[in-house]
Amino acid sequence: MKKHNFNAGPSILPREVIEETAKAVLDFNGSGLSILEISHRHKDFQAVIDEAEALFKEVLGVPEGYSVLFLGGGASLQFCMAPMNFLKTKAAYLNTGVWSKKAIKEAKNFGEVVEVASSADTTYNYIPRGYTIPSDVDYFHYTSNNTIYGTEIRQVPDSPVPVICDMSSDIFSTPVDVSKYMCIYGGAQKNLAPAGVTFVVVKNDCVGKVDRVIPTMLNYQTHIDGGSMFNTPPVLPIYSAMLTLRWIKKCGGVKEMERRAIERANLLYGAIDNSPIFRPTIANPADRSRMNICFVMKDEYKELEPDFLKFATEHGMVGVKGHRSVGGFRASCYNAMPLESVQALVDCMHEFEDLHK
């Protein structure tokens, strides 16, 4: 049976990226060696990381004066690395979910944190609006897509101070005006590559302004100077990232990724909104994520949730169980997700509705 991969992360990648990666594992560039067993200093790998960086800049539209880094440690390390490099005394954070909260916790190790707004009171089921970002802070930090709760901020919030954003789960799914940011980071395992590599886009002239001693490996300057090769980088995930970026470019870039994401989201949210038994967890359409689409069963059908999970699994749906803090269901629809898989999920929901309504 065909599997439809709705995993939240690590997650679906374009089939051709997986096939090309598999080929390089067996024989990299006809060298007779696996990409797993060559030096990261080999000229053929240098060409890979150079192309990955160049394509990243081209596809996202990264302006002059910014560096693109490929690091280890996940987005979770950036929760501490960003404040370590940018927080002098005080920073502002928007709390829209568990990942924001974790970023706030780490920032508090380096200075004062002003939480400008939070949606924690209602299990993070909306995006706060109408808050004020103070002008006496070093930067404003937010999470663009809340992977667990299924909310997304697609407009850069107006900020009087430099902006930092965790874009782990919606990078390359919509155009971004990078010039509005001081730093953008994310784990690559949601939309770009297998787990193991973290991307960081950083404005060069903002680095090196704090007084504290920063350990060499945690200093952005180290990796800007070293071209992400100060130490051994995650070679294989960078290779796959390069292939994914080639694929995005070939498909038509982030504009096309966005068109596909809207098409998928309209199809699935439409089915949820019009369902006799399911309902969305995010009421305001403006707050709904196109990447992680969350839904539950209406109160009167609540006890059917395990049955639907079983039914969906039997029909080839993978990874549709909601995060334990939200319950219900979550269909993660990252860039590589074909519309046919979303249609298959919708068909499956309709079949289940016919059995139970």
Ligand X SMILES: *Cc1c(COP(=O)(O)O)cnc(C)c1O
Among all residues, which ones are annotated catalytic?
A: 99, 166, 190
Distance of CA 222 to the CA centre of its chain: 25
Q: One-letter amino acid identity for 58? A: E
Among 45, 93, 99, 269, the residue binding ligand X under the rule CB under 6 A is 99
Among 12, 68, 75, 117, the residue binding ligand X under the rule CB under 6 A is 75
- State yes or no: cis peptide before 10, omega within 30 of 0: yes
Q: Quote the tokens at residue 14.
A: 């374009």
CB of 4 to ligand X, least distance (A): 20
Work out whether 7 is an interface residue with ligand X (CB under 6 A).
no
CB nearer to ligand X: pick between 72 and 316: 72
Q: Quote the tokens at residue 107.
A: 């920032």
Q: What is the per-residue binding string for ligand X in 144-163, x denoting contact by CB under 6 A? A: ---x----------------
CB of 291 to ligand X, least distance (A): 9
DSSP 138-194: S-EEEESEETTTTEE--SPPP-SS-EEEE-TTTTTSS---GGG-SEEEEETTTTTSS
Instruction: State the DSSP code for 39.
Output: -
CB of 160 to ligand X, least distance (A): 24
DSSP 81-109: HHHHHH-SSEEEEEE-SHHHHHHHHHHTT
Of 83-91, 152-160, 165-173, 175-183, the window that binds ligand X (rule: CB under 6 A) is 165-173
| Residues 55-74 within binding reach of ligand X (CB under 6 A) | 74
CB of 277 to ligand X, least distance (A): 29
Write down the residue that tokens 């060499």 correspond to.
216
132/255 Cα distance (integer angstroms): 31
Size of the site for ligand X (CB under 6 A): 12
CB nearer to ligand X: pick between 188 and 317: 188
Q: Where are the alpha helices (DSSP H) in the chain?
A: 15-26, 43-60, 74-86, 98-107, 220-225, 235-251, 253-273, 305-314, 339-356
CB nearer to ligand X: pick between 124 and 352: 124
Instruction: State the DSSP code for 62.
Output: P
Work out whether 237 is an interface residue with ligand X (CB under 6 A).
no
67/210 Cα distance (integer angstroms): 19
Work out whether 143 is an interface residue with ligand X (CB under 6 A).
yes
Among 67, 85, 125, 169, the residue binding ligand X under the rule CB under 6 A is 169
Q: Quote the tokens at residue 10.
A: 């690590």
Work out whether 275 is an interface residue with ligand X (CB under 6 A).
no
What element of type H or E holds 318? strand 317-318
Among 53, 138, 166, 258, the residue binding ligand X under the rule CB under 6 A is 166
CB nearer to ligand X: pick between 187 and 349: 187
| Residues 188-227 within binding reach of ligand X (CB under 6 A) | 190
Work out whether 76 is an interface residue with ligand X (CB under 6 A).
yes
Where along the sequence are the contacts to ligand X (CB under 6 A)? 9, 74-76, 99, 143, 147, 166, 168-169, 187, 190
